[in-house]
Structure 1
């Protein structure tokens, strides 16, 4: 399989292979490799056009930004050795990788600059969007939920099915008398990371939990604690803190979301038109 010499293309090929196939280029099948290489070459040519445009004149990537981006990518690897090994397998060294990353960040900065040319979003634009897209602002019923989890593991004495059931029954009995102690009991006994936040699962619509838990949660009244429930994770006790009825967001509630959505869309359209114009130039 041919090796990619140009570090910028190698970097783009690595990203494309991971995005499309979840693999490194060396692990691709021949047809996958050809597709990835073609995409990387085209992307590199486009980047070259962008970097040669007048809008690129003052574009720069602050060293701190590049360093932070490098550190973030390095952090995805178990060790420095794994990081450098991956670079080597893909025809890259640290300097080439950093240069390709800086090039990519510079292109992104130029596109952001071009995006500022997008037309301003007026209050009338926002209001029209709200009135012509009513389904987007319907809010389902949600429940602010907490839980306590005791896992089942037959290899751990205190987590065998019998022992786990005894533990969750004792917790449920305490909460039946004093439901206000839920957060304290979660912190002391729950074997879920949410224990650190009093067992808080968040504000949930239907369908987000295991079916057994979901059904029980939406049968509770605000402030009520469930009996013992079982899922594939183990035994649970749930509490419903707040019920938010289904409804429609008001214009004032929806306004920030609409404005952001429209600004992003207009910016993309502006960027795409600019890139198309670049590609049409001889």
Structure 2
């Protein structure tokens, strides 16, 4: 990707951006933060050139959108601009730190607010021109049928848990004492869920003790491998053997088994509809922008 023809060299471009063109500097900062999570001044030279070219293109695109007839009817409330600016400033320790940060890129606070307002207006224009895009029930059903693997819910199990940790600095939590304590609890619990809940609340050293040892409903891979191996080989409403992990010794209770299932369309219909609507809106916006660019070129000839 080459630097735009109006720039004689990379260094001259950077000087121009720093001194005269707040909009390009603003867009470069935005692009660099979104893509690389740092300012463009921290990037390698090749990356800076790429960001600079993208900023020029985005600037032209934004100006085309803001010059459209649709933009004439869109206003961004001052309250929204101020709220968005406040959110950005709050990422810094102080307002002064924010102002110093943007001034390093040749942007004053007033310019930053104006450029932010333009960005919000561009977004508002795109939302306005695509707000009437609809998704039919047939489109939702077709997407669901063609992507059923995305709606497969793996087998899960409802599990409760008791933990006795190992800490050789405390006699009662030495490895042997911890193992003995939990073995006695397992013997007391036997096959009684209510007893398990009681011991979880009174003896477990896991935060789940606050909820009678309830971990929740989990798929394979969410717990320690040693716990997974036991849990997913157990019968419903059964107690495990004592299990050792790096944390200590555990007992788990398998309270429920929920086999893999295909989530019904009725449960994901709104999610699918929202996903498709966003895709259709984005496609419409791209077509609309392309038409604005063509119209602008025609008007210039």
Say yes or no: TM over 0.5: yes
Q: Structure 2 vs 1, CA of residues 278 and 182 (structure 1 numbering), >3 Å: closer, same or farther?
A: farther
Q: 1:250 aligns with which of 239, 245, 264?
A: 264
**Alpha-carbon offset, residue 274 of structure 1:** 0.7
C-alpha spacing 1:153/1:258, structure 2 compared with 1 (3 Å): same
2:197 is aligned, of 180, 187, 204, to 180
Aligned to 2:81: 66
Structure-1 residue corresponding to 2:154: 140
Distance 1:129 1:195, change over 3 A: same
* Counterpart position of 1:265: 279
Query: Mind listing any 5+ residue stretches in structure 1 that lack a counterpart?
Result: none
- Residue number in structure 1 paired with 2:29: 14
Structure 1 residues 137, 46: closer, same or farther in 2, change over 3 A?
A: same
Alignment partner for residue 221 of structure 2, among 207, 232, 253? Answer: 207
- The superposition leaves residues 171-199 of structure 1 with CA deviations (integer Å, 9 ceiling, x where unpaired) of 7865863322477469x9446xx787777
Check the 8 A contact 1:212/1:230 in 2, yes or no.
yes
Q: Based on CA coordinates, which of the two structures has the bigger radius of gyration?
A: 2
Query: Under a length normalisation based on structure 2, what TM-score does the superposition of the two structures give?
Result: 0.73
The alignment partner of 1:274 has SS state of helix
Change (3 A) 1:111 1:173: farther
Aligned-residue Cα RMSD (Å) equals: 3.6
Shift in Å, 1:148: 6.9
Judging changes above 3 Å, is the alpha-carbon distance between structure 1 residues 241 and 40 closer, same or farther for their aligned structure 2 residues? farther
Q: 1:56 to 1:255 in 2, by over 3 A?
A: same
Cα deviation digits, residues 217-263 of structure 1 (max 9, x gap): 433455556545425xx347455554321011223223222222221
Partner of 1:276: 290
CA change 1:61–1:146 in 2 (3 A) is farther
**1:12 Cα deviation from its structure 2 partner:** 1.7
1:224–1:106 CA distance, 2 compared to 1 (3 A): farther
Q: Does 1:24 align with 2:53?
A: no
Alignment correspondent of 1:36: 51
Say which is worse superposed, 265-274 or 163-172, in terms of deviation: 163-172
Shift of residue 202, structure 1, vs aligned partner: 5.3
SS of aligned partner of 1:90: coil
After superposition, the Cα gap between the structure-2 partners of 1:179 and 1:279, relative to the gap in structure 1 and judged at 3 Å, is: farther
- Equivalent residue number for residue 8 of structure 2: none
CA distance in 2, matches of 1:216, 1:11: 55
Q: For 2:245, what is the secondary structure of its paired residue? A: strand
Instruction: Give the whole-Å Cα distance in 1 for the aligned partners of 2:115 and 2:46.
Output: 25
Number of aligned residue pairs: 273
Please give the per-residue CA displacement for 1:66-113, whole angstroms capped at 9, x wherever unaligned.
233223223333444443332222222322222222211111111111
Structure 2 equivalent of residue 116 of structure 1:
131
Structure 1 residue aligned with 2:233: 219
Q: Which stretches in structure 2 are left out of the alignment for 5+ residues?
A: 1-10, 190-194
Q: Secondary structure at the match of 2:51?
A: helix
Task: Check whether the contact 2:227–2:243 (CA below 8 A) recurs between aligned residues.
Answer: no
Deviation at 1:65?
2.1
Q: 1:131 to 1:171 in 2, by over 3 A?
A: same
- Asked if structure 2 preserves the Cα contact closer than 8 Å seen for 1:70 and 1:98, the reply is yes
Question: In 2 relative to 1, CA 78–135 (structure 1 residues): closer, same or farther, beyond 3 Å?
Answer: same
| Distance in 2, Cα, partners of 1:16 & 1:136 | 31
Greater shift after overlay, 50-59 or 94-103?
94-103
Partner of 1:49: 64
